[in-house]
């Protein structure tokens, strides 16, 4: 008990010391390289301390990373301003790329074959229920609460329903790694989540394209197909290259992802789908799968610490002002219907585990995908700016609540398995 | 498309640096590999092919700062008091002479030469800096070539490591004498105050580092802390206009003497040493701009190399006669091993160039880069001749 207390006090003291130093007003007007380097170091150390402190109290580490990020972000202590976060965006993107490669490499064809029936059932029910329920709720809110009257309100609601259905693969991936989770539960979670998100991105892009630019409505299909195809090709070539040169693949993978990120922005590919496909190809079309997962797992801690603390810093807590209550309502409805739409198909699946009650937990956290799609939606319908704020606000709630719910599910699963 | 190409080039340099160990089996060992990396950087840089976008280079400056901090920590790790106590006084005398004579010879040679030939030097500390850089010796070259297991080899190995620790410290002291105006504080500090501030900052970071790693932690957690502090040291050094090698060295000294997890840290620092070194060498080639002073740089580097070699020779001779009582011949200590300079000199020169970014700092980089190459060639030549005689 005393040892624990000393540990907490020591870490808190160091954190406060670091924060005090970083809050010196003089540090806000430094040259870019020095500030960038110092902030990266600070973000990593403070995230580590946050994760460690939270895990001492039985919480997932990523909650600590997120909370510390929120603390030093522009909404609270303002150690990081918006420009810092934008400068560090490529770090976030490379981390996200690594997480996506890791998620893609979890999709082993031989394993998917075993559970394909379950995966199809769950995804079908999710896509049949969630966009309709969440879209209807959006319609009601937009029409009666925010008093929108335009003719496009239906299409906007449909798109919003799709965006709210998406989930973040990063949180489950981080927690699977943190708790060394293995077996059917993590595999089903990631498989369903990844395939479902790709389908949602496809539907969303098609509907948005049809409503805004009907002549080129097929473009999203081409874009996503190309992202998948090129991702598979790159993943295959990358693993061949690395195996031939027997190289330091961890270092090379990071530089490689930097290049991929740049290409996907300039050539308008979908970065998430591209990197997921790379991971999928590495796992299924080369002998590097196992090695890669090990490498990524070994370097996962700094990666997740930096990624989630910066994600925490970029969460727009201010977005909760005024619409926090509405966002909370959306979050509650979403979680309830996530549970129902997972419970129903899982009830028909023969398994010794009680997955029907907790499989939904991995789909609760939201982050990059939903925020990215929300921005596209607002760009397509600028007069519905409130949608962006609502989605971001609900993503903030989901990002914070999600890890707790998933931790609860992990405990349930571990209890059943052991 | 510039930044694409730059990223591709960086990918290429990583390939060269980390993916072709076959280079070594081709006979490109040690410093030769370093020279290849510098030449690749030089070839791709602004002066020749201009394939790297300079603004892109500036965007990867944080990587460079982190690499310097990494090497600084590793250098500080050598300063283990318990281990240093085990060495006889003669080792310290030899190291002192190894530093003293080249320093004096190079300083006065350059000062004298500047009275005859125009040099783009306005800061009075520049000759002191060049003289300080002359004291460094390549540890790798000594370990690679010094086959003898006698006392001379031990002296050479000890002094080349010890000189780096002291050399970085002296380099920073001289920088403090001409410290760039820092907007962090309202008043201008004296060099002594700067030294006190930076030593305090270094100690503070080191103490935080040690305390944060005191509890029982997993290796991956220790790696995260190490990476975090490397970045912090790099960033803090940059904002105070000091070299991360100096701040890293102070932190490394504390770690090696007081941290219970030091063995682990030393292990991971050593793992990253080679990529960090090669990256810095690549960047030094990349940013080098001989500019309008290229012809003076060549002449000055010749003066620098000759005066430095004389200083090294003289220190070996004095030490041999005075302390080892060897009377026969002049080359008591195998001074030829001391000729090639370690890549730390290039790191310091590049860092100096980034701090000041002016014609003078570019001139210093030119002289150091050219002398680095010349010293390597001279060292190899002397070694071949010596082997023939043996």
In tens, the pLDDT along A191-250 reads 999 899 888 888 888 888 888 777 777 788 888 889 899 999 988 888 877 777 665 566
Q: What is the mean pLDDT of residues A322-328?
A: 85
B174 contact partners, CB below 8 Å, separation of at least 6: B125, B128, B129, B132
Continuous segment of H or E residues that includes residue A109: helix A109-140
In tens, the pLDDT along B249-294 reads 999 999 999 998 888 888 888 877 777 777 777 777 777 777 778 8
A295 touches chain B (CB under 8 A): no
Domain coverage including residue A194: 97-417
The label of the residue with tokens 């030093």 reads A72
Highest mean pLDDT among A69-83, A257-271, B322-336: A69-83
Instruction: Answer whether A247 sits within 8 Å of B229, measured CB to CB.
Output: no
Do A113 and A34 belong to one domain? Answer: no
Q: Where are the domains of chain B?
A: 60-382
pLDDT at A181: 87
CA distance A298 to chain B (A): 7
A172 contact partners, CB below 8 Å, separation of at least 6: A186, A189, A190, A193, A362, A365, A406
Q: What is the mean pLDDT of residues B306-317?
A: 90
Q: What is the mean pLDDT of residues B5-9?
A: 59
Do A81 and A133 belong to one domain? Answer: no
Q: State how far the Cα of B62 lies from the Cα of A81, in Å rounded to an integer.
A: 18
Kindly indicate the confidence band of residue B181, based on its pLDDT and cuts at 50, 70 and 90.
low
Q: Which residue has the higher pLDDT, B206 or A60?
A: B206
Kindly indicate the confidence band of residue B161, based on its pLDDT and cuts at 50, 70 and 90.
confident
What's phi and psi for A364, nearest 5 deg? -75, -50
Do A361 and A220 belong to one domain? Answer: yes
**CATH assignment, B60-382:** 1.20.1530
Instruction: Answer whether B234 sits within 8 Å of A38, measured CB to CB.
Output: yes
Q: Which residue, of A57, A87, A117, is where some domain finishes? A: A87
CA distance A172 to chain B (A): 20
- CATH code, domain with A141: 1.20.1530.20
pLDDT at B327: 62
The label of the residue with tokens 């790329």 reads A97
Q: What is the mean pLDDT of residues B72-84?
A: 91
B4 touches chain A (CB under 8 A): yes
A86 touches chain B (CB under 8 A): no
Do A195 and A83 belong to one domain? Answer: no
pLDDT at B251: 96
pLDDT at B146: 65
Nearest Cα residue in chain B from A265 = B4
A45 touches chain B (CB under 8 A): yes
Do the domain assignments include residue A92?
A: no
Instruction: Answer whether A48 sits within 8 Å of B231, measured CB to CB.
Output: no
B228 touches chain A (CB under 8 A): yes
B144 touches chain A (CB under 8 A): no
Whether residue A3 has pLDDT greater than 80: no
pLDDT at B27: 47
Instruction: Answer whether B19 sits within 8 Å of A248, measured CB to CB.
Output: yes
B180 touches chain A (CB under 8 A): no
3-state secondary structure chain B: CHHHHHHHHHHHHHHHHHHCCHHHHCCCCHHHHHHHHHHHHHHHCCCCCCCCCHHHHHHCHHHHHHHHHHHHHHHHHCCCHHHHHCCCHHHHHHHHHHHHHHHHHHHHHHHHHHHHCCCCCCCCCHHHHHHHHCCCCCHHHHHHHCCCCCHHHHHHHHHHHHHHHHHHHHHHHHHHHCCCCCCCCCCCCCHHHHHHHHHHHHHHHHHHHHHHCCCCCCHHHHHHHHHHHHHHHHHHHHHCCCCHHHHHHHHHHHHHHHCCCHHHHHHHHHHCHHHHHHHHHHHHHHHCCCHHHHHHHHHHHHHHHHHHHHHHHHHHHHHHHHCCCCCCCCCCCCHHHHCCCCCHHHHHHHHHHHHHCCHHHHHHHHHHHHHHHHHHHHHHHHHHHHHHHC
pLDDT at B6: 60
A309 contact partners, CB below 8 Å, separation of at least 6: A43, A44, A46, A47, A50, A65, A66, A68, A69, A72
In tens, the pLDDT along B85-128 reads 988 888 899 899 989 999 999 999 999 999 888 888 877 888 99
Whether residue A251 has pLDDT greater than 70: no
Do A43 and A108 belong to one domain? Answer: no
pLDDT at B342: 80
* Residue B307 burial class via C-beta count within 10 angstroms: exposed 0-12, middle 13-18, buried 19 and up: buried
Instruction: Answer whether B7 sits within 8 Å of A256, measured CB to CB.
Output: no
Do the domain assignments include residue A105?
A: yes
Whether residue A365 has pLDDT greater than 70: yes
Whether residue B141 has pLDDT greater than 60: yes
| DSSP secondary structure letters along A297-312 | HHTHHHHHHHHHHHHH
Kindly indicate the confidence band of residue A268, based on its pLDDT and cuts at 50, 70 and 90.
confident
Do A81 and A179 belong to one domain? Answer: no
Nearest to B238 among A26, A33, A255 (CB): A33
Do A80 and A121 belong to one domain? Answer: no
Region of poorest pLDDT, from A18-22, A78-82, B77-81, B220-224: A18-22
Q: Which residue has the higher pLDDT, B226 or B181?
A: B226
B117: left (phi over 0), alpha (psi -120 to 50) or beta: beta
Do the domain assignments include residue A73?
A: yes
A191 contact partners, CB below 8 Å, separation of at least 6: A106, A107, A111, A112, A115, A119
pLDDT at A246: 60
Number of structural domains (chain A) is: 2
The three-state secondary structure class of A374 is helix
In tens, the pLDDT along A76-132 reads 888 888 888 887 877 777 788 888 888 888 888 888 888 899 999 999 999 999 999
Assessment of whether the complete model's pTM goes beyond 0.90:
no
In tens, the pLDDT along B189-236 reads 788 888 999 999 999 999 999 988 888 888 888 988 999 999 999 999
Nearest Cα residue in chain A from B219 = A298
The interface predicted TM-score (ipTM) is: 0.85
Kindly indicate the confidence band of residue B24, based on its pLDDT and cuts at 50, 70 and 90.
very low
Instruction: Answer whether A251 sits within 8 Å of B214, measured CB to CB.
Output: no
Q: Which residue has the higher pLDDT, A350 or A341?
A: A341
Do A152 and A220 belong to one domain? Answer: yes
Q: Which residues of chain A have a CB within 8 Å of the CB of B243?
A: none
Q: Which residues of chain A have a CB within 8 Å of the CB of B225?
A: 45, 48
Q: Which residue, of A87, A118, A144, is where some domain finishes? A: A87
> pLDDT exceeding 70 applies to what percent of chain A?
94
DSSP assignment letter at A135: H
CA distance A72 to chain B (A): 16
In tens, the pLDDT along A155-203 reads 889 999 998 998 888 888 888 888 888 888 999 999 999 899 888 888 8
Whether residue B26 has pLDDT greater than 50: no
Q: Which residue has the higher pLDDT, A1 or A39?
A: A39
Instruction: Answer whether B231 sits within 8 Å of A259, measured CB to CB.
Output: no
A55-59: long-range contacts at Cβ-Cβ below 8 A with a sequence spacing of 24 or more? A56/A4, A56/A7, A56/A8, A59/A403, A59/A404, A59/A407
Whether residue A302 has pLDDT greater than 50: yes
Kindly indicate the confidence band of residue B139, based on its pLDDT and cuts at 50, 70 and 90.
confident
C-alpha distances out from residue A165 to A207, A225, A341, A380, B375, Å: 15, 22, 11, 19, 66
Do A114 and A32 belong to one domain? Answer: no
pLDDT at B302: 94
The label of the residue with tokens 């009907």 reads A214
Q: What is the mean pLDDT of residues B363-388?
A: 84
Do A175 and A243 belong to one domain? Answer: yes
Whether residue A315 has pLDDT greater than 80: no
Do A74 and A113 belong to one domain? Answer: no
Instruction: Answer whether A259 sits within 8 Å of B236, measured CB to CB.
Output: no
Quick one: tokens of B341?
């300079």
Nearest Cα residue in chain B from A297 = B220
Do A134 and A249 belong to one domain? Answer: yes
């Amino acid at each position: 008990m005393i040892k624990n207390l000393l540990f907490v006090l020591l870490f808190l003291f160091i954190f406060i010391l670091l924060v005090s130093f970083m809050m010196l007003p003089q540090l806000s007007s430094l040259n870019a390289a020095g500030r960038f380097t110092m902030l990266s170091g600070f973000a990593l150390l403070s995230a580590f301390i946050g994760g460690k402190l939270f895990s001492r109290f039985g919480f997932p580490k990523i909650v600590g990373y997120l909370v510390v990020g929120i603390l030093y972000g522009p909404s609270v202590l303002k150690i990081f301003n918006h420009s810092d976060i934008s400068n560090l965006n490529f770090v976030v993107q490379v981390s996200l790329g690594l997480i996506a490669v890791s998620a893609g490499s979890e999709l082993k064809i031989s394993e998917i074959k075993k559970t394909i029936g379950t995966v199809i059932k769950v995804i079908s029910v999710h896509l049949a229920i969630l966009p309709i329920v969440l879209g209807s709720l959006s319609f009601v809110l937009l029409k009666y609460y925010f008093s929108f009257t335009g003719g496009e309100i239906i299409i906007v609601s449909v798109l919003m329903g799709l965006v709210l259905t998406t989930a973040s693969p990063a949180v489950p991936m981080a927690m699977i790694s943190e708790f060394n989770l293995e077996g059917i539960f993590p595999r089903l979670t990631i498989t369903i989540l990844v395939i479902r998100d790709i389908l949602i991105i496809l539907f969303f892009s098609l509907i948005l394209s049809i409503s805004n630019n009907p002549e080129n409505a097929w473009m999203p299909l081409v874009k996503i197909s190309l992202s998948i195809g090129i991702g598979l090709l790159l993943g295959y070539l990358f693993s061949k290259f690395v195996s031939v040169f027997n190289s330091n693949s961890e270092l090379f993978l990071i530089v490689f992802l930097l290049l991929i990120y740049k290409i996907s922005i300039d050539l308008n590919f979908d970065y998430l789908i591209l990197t997921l496909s790379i991971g999928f190809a590495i796992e299924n079309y080369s002998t590097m799968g196992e090695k890669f997962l090990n490498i990524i797992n070994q370097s996962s801690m700094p990666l997740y610490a930096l990624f989630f603390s910066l994600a925490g810093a970029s969460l727009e807590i201010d977005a909760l002002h005024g619409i926090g209550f509405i966002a909370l309502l959306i979050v509650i409805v979403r979680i309830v219907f996530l549970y129902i739409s997972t419970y129903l198909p899982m009830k028909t699946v023969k398994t010794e585990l009680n997955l029907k009650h907790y499989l939904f937990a991995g789909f609760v956290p939201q982050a990059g995908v939903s925020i990215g799609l929300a921005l596209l939606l607002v760009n397509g319908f600028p007069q519905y700016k409130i949608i962006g704020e609502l989605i971001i606000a609900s993503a903030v709630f989901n990002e914070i609540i999600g890890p707790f719910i998933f931790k609860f599910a992990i405990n349930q699963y571990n209890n059943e398995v052991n | 498309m510039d930044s694409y190409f730059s990223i591709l080039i960086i990918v290429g340099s990583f390939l060269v640096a980390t993916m072709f160990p076959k280079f070594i089996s081709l006979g490109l060992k040690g410093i030769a590999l370093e020279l290849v990396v510098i030449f690749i950087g030089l070839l791709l840089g602004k002066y020749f092919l201009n394939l790297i976008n300079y603004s892109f280079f500036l965007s990867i400056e944080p990587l460079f700062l982190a690499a310097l901090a990494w090497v600084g920590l590793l250098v500080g790790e050598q300063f283990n008091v318990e281990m240093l106590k085990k060495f006889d006084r003669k080792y310290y005398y030899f190291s002192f002479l190894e530093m003293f004579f080249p320093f004096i010879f190079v300083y006065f040679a350059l000062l004298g030469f500047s009275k005859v030939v125009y040099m783009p030097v306005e800061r009075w500390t520049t000759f002191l800096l060049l003289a300080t850089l002359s004291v460094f010796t390549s540890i790798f070259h000594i370990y690679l070539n010094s086959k003898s297991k006698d006392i001379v080899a031990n002296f050479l190995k000890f002094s080349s490591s010890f000189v780096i620790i002291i050399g970085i410290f002296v380099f920073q002291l001289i920088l403090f004498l001409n410290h760039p105006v820092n907007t962090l504080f309202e008043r201008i500090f004296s060099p002594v105050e700067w030294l006190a501030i930076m030593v305090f900052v270094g100690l503070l970071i080191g103490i935080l580092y040690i305390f944060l790693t005191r509890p029982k932690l997993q290796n991956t957690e220790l790696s995260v802390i190490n990476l975090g502090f490397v970045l912090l040291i790099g960033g803090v050094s940059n904002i105070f206009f000091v070299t991360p090698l100096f701040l890293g060295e102070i932190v490394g000294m504390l770690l090696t003497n007081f941290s219970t997890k030091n063995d682990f840290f030393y292990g991971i620092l050593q793992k990253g040493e080679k990529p960090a070194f090669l990256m810095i060498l690549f960047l030094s080639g990349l940013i080098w701009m001989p500019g309008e002073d290229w012809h003076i740089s060549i002449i000055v580097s010749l003066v620098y190399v000759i005066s430095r070699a004389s200083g090294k020779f003289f220190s070996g001779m004095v030490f041999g006669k005075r302390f080892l009582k060897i009377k026969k011949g002049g080359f008591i200590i195998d001074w030829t091993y001391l000729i090639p300079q370690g890549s730390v000199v290039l790191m310091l020169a590049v860092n100096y160039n980034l701090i000041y970014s002016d014609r003078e700092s570019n001139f210093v980089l030119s002289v150091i880069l050219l002398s680095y190459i010349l010293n390597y060639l001279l060292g190899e030549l002397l070694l071949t001749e010596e082997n023939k005689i043996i």
